[in-house]
């Protein structure tokens, strides 16, 4: 008679024990790791501390708050803050920079010089394009970084890296890291606010909290019209009735929270309800630009045809940081000038020049600039390749482009780094986006190597395993 081995669950006893051994080992390993405190970071991330509470910084912070002026699509460095006279001389000639398709969309073709004049400004003698006459008046407060590097010349990936440190989705944004690490000085407004004047590539991923609790994500305000949608209650319930309803809801949520303390999403939802209730009383005043005098509105270009929209966002950003908001990001679109680069830059700079200068002036007059870090830039720059047609454009370029920073302990009147004579390669003082992020966190009192969040089995950082603070630009 044929010997048929006994089977359990369609598996031999030997196979069953072999497979179950992994489970025995995993259970034992989990117990030992827990005893060693391996899972404590996760528990701390879910601990019942309000995400809005102010947290101690690693060292004295120079910037209590940050405003990031994000130029969606990528402004042209050689038309704005990085003059290239040699490129102008070679305008119309053919050039091949080599195969760099991942970080430059067009490394080969006809060189396009800039039609815009550059002149020196301030005591520092920093050169700025005629496109930014008002911003140029503030060069002595600015550090212009001319050698910024990124890893992608594709809008979506580059936008994500500029805002989250990674070229792929799912990671927390810079504002979320600032909120997570420092909390917020106000309990009545979100700590991280986003103002959208033209949708950015990759959308809400740019201000997402990624794998962190959703309480740390950016809250979108409207720069024009009603700043905060659905702020007022749908019913005519009194504040007292709303408070009682919210207390009852919090009681039930709290009971459920006790049974699953690791559920960070539930705790974030509880905090969101509480914040929404407080905002009904405090946010209307914060976003009411009618209380600003005519002189201040004129400083930002409010109620002027070209500058009204962006001017309102810049003025609102000042009001928000003045009231304790930690991080404000303003998106302005669209600088993706594949065609008609010159005329489009004239229009885009005209829309933003006066509001940005007004913001810097207003912050300085109010004594806020020293404690407010202002950042300007896009997800990358543009190519020196562009042809000779008056309507010609420039393409995506991440091998060397320009950003600037002001206030918040940044050394003013400084032009840092250098690109080659044609504006293609960063050749001196290279600043990768990881270095930029490390510097932003440093000015906000945070060591980028120590600010971590435990997720998927390891500690994550905004700068991953990279990044160095650019100490040369610090005051």
Q: Has residue 245 been placed in a domain?
A: no
Tell me the average pLDDT across 171-175. Answer: 98
Q: What is the number of structural domains in the chain? A: 2
Q: What is the pLDDT of residue 4?
A: 47
Q: Residues 210, 294: one domain?
A: yes
Q: At what angle do helices 308-322 and 341-365 cross, to 10 degrees?
A: 30
Owner of token pair 């912050």: 363
Q: Has residue 59 been placed in a domain?
A: no
Q: Has residue 260 been placed in a domain?
A: no
| Angle ∠(206,474,172) on CA atoms, nearest 5 | 20
Lowest mean pLDDT among 95-109, 157-171, 444-458: 95-109
Q: Residues 152, 292: one domain?
A: yes
Lowest mean pLDDT among 265-269, 434-438, 444-448: 265-269
Nearest residue to 386 (alpha-carbon basis) of 124, 90, 102: 90
- pLDDT: which is higher, 373 or 12: 373
Q: Residues 327, 400: one domain?
A: yes
Q: Residues 390, 355: one domain?
A: yes
- Asked if residue 313 lies in contact with residue 181, where contact means CB atoms within 8 angstroms, the answer is no
404 half-sphere exposure, CB direction, 13 A CA radius: 25
Q: Residues 71, 185: one domain?
A: yes
Q: Has residue 348 been placed in a domain?
A: yes
Q: What is the pLDDT of residue 131?
A: 98
Q: Has residue 358 been placed in a domain?
A: yes
Q: Residues 22, 77: one domain?
A: no
Q: Residues 16, 70: one domain?
A: no
CATH at 357:
3.40.720
The pLDDT mean for the chain works out to: 88
Q: What is the pLDDT of residue 45?
A: 39
Domain that holds residue 340: 65-228+287-473
Asked if the model's pLDDT at residue 142 lies above 80, the reply is yes
Q: Residues 318, 464: one domain?
A: yes
Q: Has residue 273 been placed in a domain?
A: no
Q: Residues 120, 13: one domain?
A: no
- Phi-psi category of residue 397: left, alpha or beta, with phi > 0 → left and psi -120 to 50 → alpha: beta
d(CA 418, CA 205): 31
Q: Residues 99, 18: one domain?
A: no
Percentage above 90 pLDDT, the chain:
71
Q: Has residue 189 been placed in a domain?
A: yes
Asked if the model's pLDDT at residue 20 lies above 50, the reply is yes
Q: What is the pLDDT of residue 422?
A: 98
Q: Residues 30, 127: one domain?
A: no
pTM of the model: 0.85
Q: Has residue 258 been placed in a domain?
A: no
Q: Residues 364, 416: one domain?
A: yes
């Amino acid at each position: 008679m044929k010997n048929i081995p006994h089977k359990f669950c369609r598996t031999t006893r030997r196979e069953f024990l072999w497979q179950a051994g992994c489970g025995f080992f995993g259970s034992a390993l989990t117990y030992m790791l827990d005893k060693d405190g391996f899972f404590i970071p996760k528990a701390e991330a879910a601990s019942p501390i309000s995400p809005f509470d102010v947290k101690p910084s690693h060292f004295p912070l120079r910037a209590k708050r940050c405003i990031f002026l994000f130029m969606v699509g990528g402004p042209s460095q050689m038309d704005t803050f990085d003059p290239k006279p040699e490129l102008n001389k070679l305008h119309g000639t053919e050039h091949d920079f080599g195969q760099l398709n991942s970080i430059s969309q067009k490394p080969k073709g006809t060189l396009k010089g800039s039609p815009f004049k550059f002149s020196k400004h301030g005591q520092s003698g920093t050169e700025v394009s005629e496109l930014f006459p008002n911003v140029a008046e503030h060069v002595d407060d600015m550090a212009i970084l001319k050698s910024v590097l990124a890893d992608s010349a594709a809008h979506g990936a580059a936008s994500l890296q500029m805002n989250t440190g990674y070229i792929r989705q799912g990671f927390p944004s810079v504002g979320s890291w600032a909120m997570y690490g420092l909390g917020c000085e106000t309990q009545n407004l979100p700590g991280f606010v986003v103002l959208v004047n033209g949708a950015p590539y990759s959308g809400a991923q740019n201000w997402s909290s990624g794998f962190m609790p959703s309480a740390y994500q950016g809250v979108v305000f409207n720069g024009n019209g009603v700043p905060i949608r659905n702020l007022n209650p749908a019913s005519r319930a009194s504040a007292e009735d709303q408070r009682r309803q919210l207390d009852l809801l919090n009681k039930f949520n709290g009971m459920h929270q006790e049974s699953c303390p690791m559920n960070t999403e539930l705790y974030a939802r509880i905090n969101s309800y509480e914040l929404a209730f407080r905002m009904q009383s405090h946010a209307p005043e914060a976003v009411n630009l009618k209380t600003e005098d005519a002189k201040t509105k004129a400083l930002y270009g409010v109620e002027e045809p070209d500058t009204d929209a962006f001017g309102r966002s810049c003025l609102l950003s000042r009001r928000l940081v003045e009231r304790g908001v930690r991080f404000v990001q303003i998106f302005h679109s669209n600088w993706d000038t594949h065609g008609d680069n010159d005329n489009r830059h004239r229009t885009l700079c005209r829309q933003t020049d006066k509001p940005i200068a007004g913001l810097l002036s207003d912050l300085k007059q109010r004594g806020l600039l020293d404690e407010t870090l202002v950042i300007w830039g896009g997800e990358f720059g543009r190519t020196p390749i562009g042809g000779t047609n008056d309507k010609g454009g420039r393409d995506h370029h991440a091998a060397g482009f320009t950003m600037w920073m002001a206030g918040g302990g940044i050394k003013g009147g400084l032009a840092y780094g250098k690109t080659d004579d044609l504006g293609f390669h960063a050749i001196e003082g290279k600043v990768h986006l990881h270095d930029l992020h490390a510097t932003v966190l440093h000015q906000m009192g945070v060591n980028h190597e120590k600010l971590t969040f435990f997720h998927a089995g390891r500690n994550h950082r905004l700068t991953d395993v990279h990044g160095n603070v650019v100490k040369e630009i610090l005051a």
